[in-house]
Structure 1
Amino acid sequence: MCPPSSFTPGSNPSITNASTVDPPDIVPPIPMCTSTYHLVQQSLPPAIFNHSLRVYLYTQALAQRADSPWVAPDRLPLLFVACLFHDMGCATQNDGPQRFEICGADAAAEHLRQFEVSDADIQDVWIAISVHTTPGISERITPLARFVRLAVLMDFSELGKSPWATESELKVDDEGDRRSIEERFPRLSPEKVLGDIIVEQGMRQPTKAPALSWAERMVRAAEEEPEWEGVNKAF
């Protein structure tokens, strides 16, 4: 079990008075989602926070394309939480001994319990977050996990390389939509920021980078070329 998520105002020094700023119109207007927005905004670097918002928009588009129940009014808030929390294992307060994906999933589950979300719904969100870096499993284990995984690939311009993406899903990756979304939520080099955090965590706590994991591959790449200052070559 990773440390439970907690709202720590000011934990991200690049954000000032975030809790007083109204969330953008893409955030479902219910307390569970607005609190999620503020918590994640204050917990993560802007590059990863913006990445999470873009992942939400891409996940929503994929679910709409599939005519999925996950865009229904009662499901969409859970989809939002899954997307916003999918990298919350990078937050200082969630930096436990397990893989960052598991720590993020545990933090999401703890957050959802505050809003009396059912165990079944919490499990759906937990699975989607915990397997989002695991190709071949994430695309098949649950519909929500599939949408989150493909949206993450989309934000890193990797969707077209996925053997599990369908022709219909590939059509969601529209260049015009991408430009519009990135103008609203700029990229800010999430590959570099996310990779560096995961490598630092894995080097400091080897249990966070177990054999064959994404983190382990990046730690190994960093150790093999310690002078490299660009995006981790195993990202």
Structure 2
Amino acid sequence: MRTYLLGMEAARRDGVTDIDSESLCLAALFHDCGTAPLYNGPARFEIEGADAAARFLRAYGWAPARIDPIWEAIALHTTPEIPERRGMIARYVRIGVQIEFGSAGLRQSFAEAIEAAENKYPRQYVEEVLQGLVIDQALARPQKALQPSWAADLVRHHRPGRQGINPGF
């Protein structure tokens, strides 16, 4: 939900008034679901999450034209520069992720929105939990962390037993 709220705030600041907020919300909600055991298939977690979202939406009668931007946003959310050029849903999911986990300067420029989102939906060690899930999947199935990818960066910096946030995060 934080990714959705931060993505919506970025869209608002950009003057976007015609974003499909329902699609943005669903893409944000599903963007890391590929790390869940239920969706831990052979592909990268981003693709597994995108496929899970597409299956969910098809089961509820969504048209392929509405599903595709959600799939793309989820599949590309860890990829620099591409999602920002693939439509509003991919752009603002990526920006929401960047605001949540990005540079100090970016986080400072969205400080009030981040505080509001975190007050409503606390972080609860999300970095450590998420990195652990991605690394565990990649160690079990190395094809899930091919270079170049965020998962590969996490695995490259992984040191068993080291506490805290992985430098690849």
Same fold, TM-score > 0.5, yes or no: yes
Report the counterpart of residue 102 of structure 1 in structure 2: 47
Q: Which secondary structure does the structure 2 equivalent of 1:69 belong to?
A: coil
Q: Does 1:62 align with 2:7?
A: no
Number of matched residues?
168
- Is 1:153–1:159's contact at 8 Å kept on the other side of the alignment? no
1:213-232 to 2 correspondences below 5 Å? 213-222=149-158, 225-232=159-166
Q: Percent identity?
A: 39
- Is 1:89–1:100's contact at 8 Å kept on the other side of the alignment? yes
Per-residue deviation at 1:176?
2.5
What TM-score does the superposition give when structure 2 sets the normalisation length?
0.92
1:115-126 to 2 correspondences below 5 Å? 115-126=60-71
What TM-score does the superposition give when structure 1 sets the normalisation length?
0.67
Report the counterpart of residue 131 of structure 1 in structure 2: 76
Q: Does 1:151 align with 2:87?
A: no
Report the counterpart of residue 45 of structure 1 in structure 2: none
Amino acid at match of 1:67: V
Report the counterpart of residue 18 of structure 1 in structure 2: none
Amino acid at match of 1:85: F
Q: Runs in 1 of length 4+ with deviation above 6 angstroms?
A: none
| Larger Rg over CA atoms | 1
Per-residue deviation at 1:104?
0.4
- Is 2:41–2:48's contact at 8 Å kept on the other side of the alignment? yes
Q: Unaligned stretches of 5+ in structure 2?
A: none
1:60-209 to 2 correspondences below 5 Å? 60-65=8-13, 66-70=15-19, 75-158=20-103, 160=105, 173-209=109-145
Q: Unaligned stretches of 5+ in structure 1?
A: 1-52, 162-169
CA offsets 1:28-78 (integer angstroms, 9 cap, x no match)? xxxxxxxxxxxxxxxxxxxxxxxxx111111122223332421xxxx2211
Q: Distance in 1 between matches of 2:113 and 2:157?
A: 33
More helix by share: 2
The 10-residue stretch of structure 1 (177-186 or 123-132) with the greater mean CA deviation from structure 2: 177-186
Q: Distance in 2 between matches of 1:174 and 1:215?
A: 26
